[in-house]
A = this chain, B = another copy of it.
């Protein structure tokens, strides 16, 4: 619901109706509407961070790490699109403290990705004429906006899409003889 109508645009009435209960019943399970948003956001970050960490560590050869990371990110992100979109754009509705917590989680994830990118640069497999920070931002751009338009019922699977995006990014950033 938050994804469809936005956090502020969703009322507790609609939320309750969607769950088939009365408004008051909601408040037995959650403390406030904002609590719900906060939990969604933290779950999103936890899911994606842990999945990507696991996939990276499980990658056999070091040179497969980046690809494994992209695959894991896309698989998780496209499995729970609603949750991740909500985290990405509705965090502004949170209280300052919680807003900061979510931002900290995102920063941590970004550092995780940047770490892998830095290692690949150091290993000579990734171009170094663009900083690790900028490569990280480019990669996250490529992955994050996908969540907004991807239709699971479409004719393209998440895995296929991950391959395409990997290919665009990796070919564009590989260290090789270039001008």
Contacts and interface: CB of A to CB of B under 8 A. Distances in A.
Say what secondary structure dominates the interface of chain A: helix
B167 A93 contact: no
A127 B168 CA distance: 10
A165 interface: yes
Interface residues of A, number: 36
Contacts of A178: 171
Given A8-B5, A9-B93, A142-B141, A130 B164 contact: yes
Copies of this protein, total: 2
A150 B52 CA distance: 25
A149 B141 CA distance: 10
- Report, nearest first, the 7 A-B pairs whose CB atoms are least far apart: A172-B172, A8-B9, A8-B8, A141-B145, A145-B145, A171-B172, A168-B172
Interface stretch (A62-70, A117-125, A132-140): A132-140
